[in-house]
Amino acid sequence: MMDPFLQANRELWQHWTRINYASKTYDVDGFKRGDNRLDAVVREGVGDVRGKSLLHLQCHFGLDTLCWARLGARVTGMDFSDEAIRTARTLAQETGIAANFVCCNLYDLPQHLTGEFDIVFTSHGVLSWLPDLRAWGKIVAQFLKPGGLFFIAEAHPTAYIFDDDAENDLRVRYRYFPSSSPDLFEVHGSYADPTNEFRGVEYAWTHSLAEIVGALLSAGLRVADLREYPFNAWQMFKFMEKDADGWWCLPDRFPQIPLMFSLKANKE
Ligand SMILES: C[S@@+](CC[C@H](N)C(=O)[O-])C[C@H]1O[C@@H](n2cnc3c(N)ncnc32)[C@H](O)[C@@H]1O
Protein backbone atom coordinates (compact mmCIF):
# COMPACT_ATOMS: atom_id res chain seq x y z
CA MET A 1 0.00 0.00 0.00
CA MET A 2 1.35 3.37 -0.98
CA ASP A 3 1.85 6.06 1.65
CA PRO A 4 -1.23 8.40 1.58
CA PHE A 5 1.00 11.46 0.98
CA LEU A 6 2.54 9.76 -2.07
CA GLN A 7 -0.92 8.72 -3.24
CA ALA A 8 -2.08 12.33 -3.07
CA ASN A 9 1.01 13.46 -4.99
CA ARG A 10 0.44 10.81 -7.63
CA GLU A 11 -3.10 12.09 -8.07
CA LEU A 12 -1.67 15.58 -8.58
CA TRP A 13 0.80 14.30 -11.20
CA GLN A 14 -2.01 12.60 -13.13
CA HIS A 15 -3.56 16.07 -13.60
CA TRP A 16 -0.26 17.85 -14.11
CA THR A 17 0.76 15.39 -16.84
CA ARG A 18 -2.25 16.39 -18.94
CA ILE A 19 -1.71 20.10 -18.29
CA ASN A 20 2.05 19.96 -18.86
CA TYR A 21 1.72 17.92 -22.06
CA ALA A 22 -0.41 20.72 -23.56
CA SER A 23 1.78 23.55 -22.20
CA LYS A 24 4.14 25.84 -24.14
CA THR A 25 6.78 25.12 -21.49
CA TYR A 26 7.10 21.49 -22.54
CA ASP A 27 6.62 22.30 -26.26
CA VAL A 28 5.75 18.74 -27.29
CA ASP A 29 5.36 19.84 -30.94
CA GLY A 30 8.94 21.12 -30.92
CA PHE A 31 10.09 17.81 -29.46
CA LYS A 32 8.18 15.90 -32.16
CA ARG A 33 9.92 18.05 -34.81
CA GLY A 34 13.26 16.91 -33.39
CA ASP A 35 14.20 19.61 -30.84
CA ASN A 36 16.44 18.36 -28.04
CA ARG A 37 15.24 19.91 -24.78
CA LEU A 38 18.11 18.72 -22.53
CA ASP A 39 19.88 21.77 -21.09
CA ALA A 40 23.61 22.50 -21.27
CA VAL A 41 24.28 21.57 -17.62
CA VAL A 42 22.90 18.04 -17.94
CA ARG A 43 24.31 17.54 -21.46
CA GLU A 44 27.80 18.49 -20.29
CA GLY A 45 27.48 16.68 -16.94
CA VAL A 46 26.33 13.34 -18.35
CA GLY A 47 28.60 13.53 -21.39
CA ASP A 48 28.56 11.18 -24.35
CA VAL A 49 25.73 8.63 -24.00
CA ARG A 50 26.16 6.83 -27.31
CA GLY A 51 25.74 3.08 -26.86
CA LYS A 52 25.23 3.43 -23.09
CA SER A 53 22.31 2.20 -21.01
CA LEU A 54 20.56 5.02 -19.12
CA LEU A 55 17.94 4.81 -16.38
CA HIS A 56 15.92 8.00 -15.92
CA LEU A 57 14.32 8.25 -12.45
CA GLN A 58 11.06 10.25 -12.18
CA CYS A 59 10.96 10.77 -15.95
CA HIS A 60 7.53 12.49 -16.05
CA PHE A 61 6.06 11.87 -19.53
CA GLY A 62 9.42 10.93 -20.96
CA LEU A 63 10.53 13.95 -23.01
CA ASP A 64 14.03 14.08 -21.51
CA THR A 65 14.27 10.27 -21.60
CA LEU A 66 13.48 10.26 -25.31
CA CYS A 67 15.96 13.10 -25.89
CA TRP A 68 18.71 10.93 -24.34
CA ALA A 69 17.66 8.16 -26.73
CA ARG A 70 17.97 10.58 -29.65
CA LEU A 71 21.57 11.16 -28.51
CA GLY A 72 22.26 7.44 -28.71
CA ALA A 73 21.47 6.02 -25.24
CA ARG A 74 19.47 2.84 -24.62
CA VAL A 75 16.88 4.32 -22.27
CA THR A 76 14.57 3.22 -19.49
CA GLY A 77 12.36 5.81 -17.81
CA MET A 78 10.40 5.33 -14.60
CA ASP A 79 7.64 7.33 -12.94
CA PHE A 80 4.75 6.59 -10.59
CA SER A 81 2.10 8.40 -12.66
CA ASP A 82 0.44 5.94 -15.05
CA GLU A 83 -0.89 8.92 -17.03
CA ALA A 84 2.74 10.07 -17.50
CA ILE A 85 4.01 6.62 -18.46
CA ARG A 86 1.11 6.05 -20.88
CA THR A 87 1.91 9.39 -22.52
CA ALA A 88 5.64 8.57 -22.64
CA ARG A 89 4.96 5.25 -24.38
CA THR A 90 2.67 6.93 -26.93
CA LEU A 91 5.27 9.62 -27.63
CA ALA A 92 7.96 6.96 -28.13
CA GLN A 93 5.70 5.16 -30.59
CA GLU A 94 4.75 8.34 -32.46
CA THR A 95 8.37 9.40 -32.85
CA GLY A 96 9.73 5.90 -33.52
CA ILE A 97 12.20 6.10 -30.62
CA ALA A 98 13.08 2.85 -28.81
CA ALA A 99 12.51 3.24 -25.07
CA ASN A 100 11.38 1.19 -22.09
CA PHE A 101 9.07 2.82 -19.53
CA VAL A 102 8.24 1.47 -16.07
CA CYS A 103 5.34 2.69 -13.94
CA CYS A 104 5.86 2.36 -10.17
CA ASN A 105 6.67 4.19 -6.99
CA LEU A 106 10.42 4.93 -6.98
CA TYR A 107 10.84 2.98 -3.74
CA ASP A 108 9.30 -0.14 -5.37
CA LEU A 109 11.55 -0.06 -8.44
CA PRO A 110 13.51 -3.22 -7.47
CA GLN A 111 10.23 -5.16 -7.70
CA HIS A 112 9.60 -3.88 -11.25
CA LEU A 113 13.01 -3.65 -12.91
CA THR A 114 16.20 -5.69 -12.92
CA GLY A 115 19.67 -4.98 -14.27
CA GLU A 116 22.37 -2.36 -13.92
CA PHE A 117 22.86 0.75 -16.01
CA ASP A 118 25.88 2.74 -17.23
CA ILE A 119 24.10 5.95 -16.24
CA VAL A 120 21.37 6.75 -13.70
CA PHE A 121 19.95 10.22 -14.36
CA THR A 122 17.39 12.46 -12.66
CA SER A 123 16.74 16.19 -12.88
CA HIS A 124 14.85 19.39 -12.09
CA GLY A 125 12.05 19.01 -9.57
CA VAL A 126 12.48 15.48 -8.28
CA LEU A 127 13.74 15.39 -4.67
CA SER A 128 11.00 17.31 -2.85
CA TRP A 129 8.56 14.50 -3.74
CA LEU A 130 10.66 11.91 -1.90
CA PRO A 131 10.25 11.34 1.84
CA ASP A 132 13.34 9.17 2.35
CA LEU A 133 16.61 10.10 0.64
CA ARG A 134 18.63 7.28 2.21
CA ALA A 135 16.31 4.78 0.51
CA TRP A 136 16.56 6.84 -2.73
CA GLY A 137 20.38 6.63 -2.55
CA LYS A 138 20.18 2.84 -2.23
CA ILE A 139 17.94 2.62 -5.33
CA VAL A 140 20.41 4.76 -7.30
CA ALA A 141 23.32 2.55 -6.20
CA GLN A 142 21.46 -0.70 -6.85
CA PHE A 143 20.74 0.17 -10.50
CA LEU A 144 24.20 1.53 -11.29
CA LYS A 145 26.90 -0.70 -12.86
CA PRO A 146 30.28 -0.71 -11.15
CA GLY A 147 32.10 2.18 -12.81
CA GLY A 148 28.76 3.77 -13.73
CA LEU A 149 27.74 7.44 -13.40
CA PHE A 150 24.91 8.96 -11.39
CA PHE A 151 24.00 12.51 -12.38
CA ILE A 152 21.49 14.90 -10.88
CA ALA A 153 20.72 18.57 -11.62
CA GLU A 154 18.18 20.00 -9.20
CA ALA A 155 16.96 23.20 -7.53
CA HIS A 156 19.35 24.12 -4.72
CA PRO A 157 18.00 23.48 -1.19
CA THR A 158 18.93 27.08 -0.26
CA ALA A 159 16.54 28.44 -2.88
CA TYR A 160 13.61 26.60 -1.28
CA ILE A 161 13.81 28.57 1.98
CA PHE A 162 12.46 31.78 0.38
CA ASP A 163 8.82 32.81 0.10
CA ASP A 164 7.61 31.82 -3.37
CA ASP A 165 4.56 34.13 -3.03
CA ALA A 166 6.70 37.28 -2.51
CA GLU A 167 6.22 39.93 -5.19
CA ASN A 168 9.65 41.56 -5.35
CA ASP A 169 12.00 40.44 -2.58
CA LEU A 170 13.65 37.38 -1.06
CA ARG A 171 12.11 36.67 2.33
CA VAL A 172 13.05 33.61 4.40
CA ARG A 173 9.84 31.62 4.97
CA TYR A 174 10.69 27.89 5.10
CA ARG A 175 13.16 25.83 7.12
CA TYR A 176 16.38 24.66 5.48
CA PHE A 177 16.82 21.49 7.51
CA PRO A 178 14.83 18.32 6.81
CA SER A 179 11.87 17.21 8.88
CA SER A 180 10.16 13.83 8.81
CA SER A 181 6.71 15.17 7.91
CA PRO A 182 5.90 16.88 4.60
CA ASP A 183 4.53 20.40 4.09
CA LEU A 184 1.15 20.77 2.43
CA PHE A 185 0.81 23.30 -0.40
CA GLU A 186 -2.27 24.35 -2.32
CA VAL A 187 -1.72 24.19 -6.03
CA HIS A 188 -3.18 26.49 -8.69
CA GLY A 189 -2.65 25.33 -12.26
CA SER A 190 0.75 23.69 -12.80
CA TYR A 191 4.31 25.03 -12.79
CA ALA A 192 4.25 24.69 -16.58
CA ASP A 193 0.92 26.53 -16.93
CA PRO A 194 -0.03 28.61 -13.85
CA THR A 195 -3.07 30.01 -15.70
CA ASN A 196 -4.78 26.60 -15.84
CA GLU A 197 -7.93 26.38 -13.68
CA PHE A 198 -6.91 23.16 -11.95
CA ARG A 199 -6.84 23.23 -8.11
CA GLY A 200 -5.12 20.57 -6.00
CA VAL A 201 -2.66 19.92 -3.19
CA GLU A 202 0.91 18.73 -3.00
CA TYR A 203 2.98 17.29 -0.17
CA ALA A 204 6.65 18.25 -0.26
CA TRP A 205 9.66 17.21 1.80
CA THR A 206 12.57 19.51 2.60
CA HIS A 207 16.07 18.15 1.95
CA SER A 208 19.34 19.88 2.80
CA LEU A 209 22.46 19.63 0.64
CA ALA A 210 24.25 17.60 3.32
CA GLU A 211 21.31 15.18 3.43
CA ILE A 212 21.40 14.70 -0.36
CA VAL A 213 25.17 14.13 -0.47
CA GLY A 214 25.01 11.96 2.67
CA ALA A 215 22.33 9.72 1.13
CA LEU A 216 24.60 8.95 -1.83
CA LEU A 217 27.71 8.45 0.32
CA SER A 218 25.88 6.12 2.70
CA ALA A 219 24.76 4.05 -0.29
CA GLY A 220 28.43 3.48 -1.12
CA LEU A 221 28.74 5.95 -4.01
CA ARG A 222 31.73 8.26 -4.45
CA VAL A 223 30.79 11.89 -5.04
CA ALA A 224 33.02 13.04 -7.90
CA ASP A 225 31.70 16.54 -8.61
CA LEU A 226 29.35 19.04 -6.95
CA ARG A 227 28.53 22.40 -8.54
CA GLU A 228 26.28 25.32 -7.59
CA TYR A 229 24.70 27.78 -10.02
CA PRO A 230 23.14 31.25 -9.58
CA PHE A 231 20.21 30.24 -11.81
CA ASN A 232 17.55 27.55 -11.99
CA ALA A 233 15.74 25.59 -14.69
CA TRP A 234 12.34 26.95 -13.73
CA GLN A 235 10.93 30.19 -12.35
CA MET A 236 10.94 29.87 -8.55
CA PHE A 237 10.05 33.51 -7.76
CA LYS A 238 7.76 35.93 -9.59
CA PHE A 239 10.54 38.49 -10.04
CA MET A 240 13.06 36.14 -11.69
CA GLU A 241 14.25 36.91 -15.21
CA LYS A 242 15.10 34.51 -18.03
CA ASP A 243 18.60 34.92 -19.45
CA ALA A 244 19.71 34.44 -23.05
CA ASP A 245 20.42 30.74 -22.39
CA GLY A 246 16.94 30.09 -20.96
CA TRP A 247 17.98 29.94 -17.27
CA TRP A 248 15.91 31.72 -14.60
CA CYS A 249 18.03 34.26 -12.65
CA LEU A 250 17.52 36.87 -9.94
CA PRO A 251 17.59 40.49 -11.16
CA ASP A 252 20.96 42.26 -10.85
CA ARG A 253 19.91 44.11 -7.66
CA PHE A 254 20.29 40.83 -5.69
CA PRO A 255 23.59 39.32 -4.55
CA GLN A 256 24.17 35.99 -6.26
CA ILE A 257 22.97 32.98 -4.27
CA PRO A 258 22.86 29.30 -5.23
CA LEU A 259 19.60 28.42 -7.01
CA MET A 260 20.57 25.10 -8.59
CA PHE A 261 23.16 22.38 -8.08
CA SER A 262 24.50 19.46 -10.06
CA LEU A 263 26.24 16.39 -8.73
CA LYS A 264 28.10 13.44 -10.23
CA ALA A 265 28.70 10.25 -8.29
CA ASN A 266 30.31 6.96 -9.24
CA LYS A 267 29.91 3.39 -8.14
CA GLU A 268 33.35 1.91 -7.68
C1 LIG B 1 9.08 17.69 -11.99
S2 LIG B 1 8.83 16.08 -12.60
C3 LIG B 1 10.35 15.62 -13.26
C4 LIG B 1 10.70 16.61 -14.14
C5 LIG B 1 11.42 16.27 -15.38
N6 LIG B 1 12.72 16.81 -15.20
C7 LIG B 1 10.68 16.95 -16.49
O8 LIG B 1 10.65 18.19 -16.52
O9 LIG B 1 10.09 16.28 -17.32
C10 LIG B 1 8.77 15.06 -11.16
C11 LIG B 1 8.26 13.65 -11.49
O12 LIG B 1 8.42 12.87 -10.31
C13 LIG B 1 7.39 11.91 -10.30
N14 LIG B 1 7.31 11.36 -8.94
C15 LIG B 1 7.02 12.02 -7.80
N16 LIG B 1 7.08 11.18 -6.74
C17 LIG B 1 7.41 9.96 -7.24
C18 LIG B 1 7.61 8.68 -6.66
N19 LIG B 1 7.47 8.48 -5.34
N20 LIG B 1 7.93 7.64 -7.46
C21 LIG B 1 8.07 7.82 -8.80
N22 LIG B 1 7.88 9.01 -9.41
C23 LIG B 1 7.56 10.07 -8.64
C24 LIG B 1 6.17 12.67 -10.78
O25 LIG B 1 5.15 11.83 -11.27
C26 LIG B 1 6.78 13.58 -11.85
O27 LIG B 1 6.61 13.03 -13.13
What is the per-residue DSSP string for 34-98?
A: T-----HHHHHHH---TT-EEEEET-TTSHHHHHHHHTT-EEEEEES-HHHHHHHHHHHHHHT--
Going from the Cα of 8 to the center of ligand 1, the distance in angstroms, rounded, reads 13
Range of the domain at 55: 4-156+175-229+256-266
Distance of CA 186 to the CA centre of its chain: 20
- Asked, for residue 234, whether it belongs to a domain, the answer is no
- Which residue's CA is minimally distant from atom 12 of ligand 1? 58
Say if residue 206's pLDDT is above 80: yes
For residue 107, the domain's CATH number is 3.40.50.150
Closest CA to 51 of 69, 31, 34, 78: 69
- Asked, for residue 260, whether it belongs to a domain, the answer is yes
Going from the Cα of 40 to the center of ligand 1, the distance in angstroms, rounded, reads 21
Residues with CB under 6 A from ligand 1: 6, 9, 13, 58, 60, 63-64, 79-81, 84, 105-106, 123-126, 129
Residues 6 or more apart whose CB falls under 8 angstroms from that of 22 comprise: 28, 193
- In terms of pTM, does the model score above 0.85? yes
Model pLDDT, residue 184? 96
- Asked, for residue 238, whether it belongs to a domain, the answer is no
C-alpha 67/C-alpha 46 separation (Å) is 13
Say if residue 86's pLDDT is above 90: yes
What phi-psi label fits residue 31: left (phi over 0), alpha (psi between -120 and 50 degrees) or beta?
Answer: alpha
Model pLDDT, residue 255? 96
Closest CA to 106 of 13, 199, 210: 13
C-alpha 183/C-alpha 128 separation (Å) is 10
Mean pLDDT of 29-41: 96
- Asked, for residue 241, whether it belongs to a domain, the answer is no
Say if residue 1's pLDDT is above 80: no
pLDDT tens track for 144-197 = 999 999 999 999 999 999 999 999 999 999 999 998 899 999 999 999 998 999
Going from the Cα of 192 to the center of ligand 1, the distance in angstroms, rounded, reads 14
- Which residue's CA is minimally distant from atom 26 of ligand 1? 60
% of the chain beyond a pLDDT of 70 = 100
pLDDT tens track for 104-158 = 999 999 999 999 999 999 999 999 999 999 999 999 999 999 999 999 999 999 9
Model pLDDT, residue 250? 98
Model pLDDT, residue 2? 83
- Asked, for residue 235, whether it belongs to a domain, the answer is no
Going from the Cα of 253 to the center of ligand 1, the distance in angstroms, rounded, reads 33
**Overall domain count for the chain:** 1
pLDDT band at 88; cut points 50, 70, 90? very high
Going from the Cα of 254 to the center of ligand 1, the distance in angstroms, rounded, reads 31
- Which residue's CA is minimally distant from atom 10 of ligand 1? 126
C-alpha 11/C-alpha 224 separation (Å) is 36
- Asked, for residue 41, whether it belongs to a domain, the answer is yes
- Asked, for residue 135, whether it belongs to a domain, the answer is yes
- Contact by Cβ (8 Å): 80, 121: no
- Contact by Cβ (8 Å): 257, 250: yes
**Residues in the chain, how many?**
268
- Asked, for residue 239, whether it belongs to a domain, the answer is no
